Amino acid sequence: MSSSLIKPLLIIGGGGHASVLVDILRAQGREVLAVVCPDDISMRRVFSGIRHLTKDDDVLAFSPDDVLLVNGIGMLPASGLKRTLNQYYLSHHYQFETVIAESAQVSPFANVEVGAQIFAGAIVQAGAQIGAHSVINSGAVIEHDCSIGHYNHIAPRATLCGQVITQD
């Protein structure tokens, strides 16, 4: 597949966080090939018409050259599941898509690393750095010159004033 084409997506996880991501991606006209989740996802209408895979290794049937992954595992306190799954798939040469909702305001002078997710109504100001695989949740504000580490999850409507630095 040519690198200039937009690749279809596989969503890891089938809970609330994944459903918000699929909603964003469908609104953007992105092709979602499957949702990977061991649980029943039929009660979430946003997944209607999308193939349901139940095992993490089902992803391996897709070539890393032909798809991008989106990690839809939400914030689970004291759990490393999101990072563990990412590392597993990265070790198999898969790449993660960066997802930015159309209603998010991201300065062209901000830096958003691969795999980050910026939800509806979020604001990321000039000079801000958003680390790989971090989530800036709905309505959150990341002011100027903040540096958000990798795998951070900024809560909905949280405000980080200028020059806040978080760790990975």
The contacts of residue 150 (CB under 8 Å, 6+ apart) are 113, 131, 132, 133, 134, 168
Rounded CA-CA distance 113/135 in Å is 11
Pair 134, 149: CB distance under 8 Å: yes
Number of Cβ within a 10 Å radius of residue 30: 18
**Could you give the residue numbers annotated as active site?**
144
DSSP-based three-state secondary structure for 17: helix
